[in-house]
């Protein structure tokens, strides 16, 4: 079975594939100080919940990471616990995605993987809106090329900045209030965060679609379900888009026997 890991700044999203079907997913916090042994123990615990183990079931590992310290930890863990080398998305790894930016090396691995998955799903131009620590808009051409994108502060980052810079505003749950005009401070903050993000998404996606006719807008990321009910420009949600893209990258770079 293939273990896929999407390492973000805030969370690590894990998925186990049997063939092309994703069977289980988990989330854990990103901690740069976690050792390779701790990481292996955490993985083992997740797998044991589903009647699996690192030694007997995992026959491949593919990783997209934007946190170099965690990337190094995963490399060390793989060397100690697996008889195979991981596929870590980066220079030298085949993705099939031409990157048409000024400096292709600065494009995050997760964004390249998202572009691959989006083009595979749609077969044409696409916009991936990834709701994470940042809200990323990844733009894919009709030929499957990564042509660029937009990076905006994510809701959690915006909320943290708001609370850290104001003495009397308290942290709130990231959920939509009943009305856009808040009747309390909590509702007013929620309205700004949720409806403000939805408005931002609609404005940016509308502008991109004007430049890229026929583009399909795909939402993904942990916070997507909170925002997309209030968006008018999102065409579909794919919660495990990045993991699916990692599976595709793995297939392009190695051959694995399912167990």
At 179-211, the pLDDT tens digits run 999 989 889 989 999 999 999 999 999 999 999
Within a domain: 29: yes
Within a domain: 98: no
Burial class (CB in 10 A: 0-12, 13-18, 19+), 162: middle
Q: Which residues are catalytic?
A: 110
**How many domains does one find in the chain?**
2
pLDDT, mean of residues 228-246: 97
Confidence bin at 255 (pLDDT 50/70/90)? low
Residue-wise DSSP of 61-130: EEEEES-HHHHHHHHHHHHHH-SS--EE-STT------B-SS-GGGS-HHHHHHHHHHHHHHSS-EEEEE
Q: What is the CATH number of the domain that holds 76?
A: 3.30.420.40
- Whether the pLDDT of residue 16 is over 60: the answer is yes
Q: Does residue 140 sit in the same domain as residue 227?
A: yes
Q: Does residue 63 sit in the same domain as residue 159?
A: no
Q: Does residue 114 sit in the same domain as residue 13?
A: no
Are 60 and 37 within 8 A, CB to CB? no
Q: Does residue 182 sit in the same domain as residue 135?
A: yes
Which of 120, 109, 128, 108 has the alpha carbon at shortest distance from 144?
A: 120
Q: Does residue 189 sit in the same domain as residue 232?
A: yes
Q: Does residue 112 sit in the same domain as residue 229?
A: yes
Domain that holds residue 141: 104-239
Residue 4, both tokens: 């896929």
At 56-80, the pLDDT tens digits run 899 999 999 999 999 999 999 999 9
Q: How many CB atoms lie within 10 A of CB 152?
A: 16
């Amino acid at each position: 079975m293939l273990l896929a890991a999407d390492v973000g700044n805030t969370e690590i999203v894990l998925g186990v594939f049997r063939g092309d079907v994703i069977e289980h997913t988990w989330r854990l916090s990103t901690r740069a100080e976690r050792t390779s042994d701790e990481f292996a123990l955490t993985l083992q615990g997740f797998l044991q919940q589903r009647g699996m183990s690192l030694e007997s079931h995992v026959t491949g590992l593919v990783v997209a990471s934007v946190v170099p310290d965690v990337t190094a930890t995963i490399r060390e863990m793989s060397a100690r616990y697996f008889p195979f080398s991981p596929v870590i998305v980066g220079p030298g790894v085949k993705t099939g995605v031409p990157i048409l930016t000024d400096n292709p090396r600065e494009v995050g691995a997760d964004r390249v993987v998202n572009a691959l998955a989006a083009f595979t799903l749609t077969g044409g131009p696409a916009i991936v809106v990834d709701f994470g620590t940042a809200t990323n808009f990844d733009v894919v051409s009709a030929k499957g090329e990564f042509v660029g994108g937009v990076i905006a502060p994510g809701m959690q980052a915006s909320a943290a900045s708001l609370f850290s810079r104001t003495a009397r505003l308290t942290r709130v749950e990231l959920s939509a209030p009943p009305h856009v005009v808040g009747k309390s401070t909590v509702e007013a903050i929620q309205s700004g965060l949720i409806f403000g993000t939805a408005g931002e998404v609609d404005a940016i996606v509308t502008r991109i679609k004007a430049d890229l006719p026929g583009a399909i807008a795909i939402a993904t990321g942990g916070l997507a379900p909170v925002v997309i009910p209030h968006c008018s420009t999102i065409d579909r949600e794919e919660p495990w888009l990045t993991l699916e893209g990692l599976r595709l990258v793995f297939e392009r770079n190695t051959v694995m026997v399912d167990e």
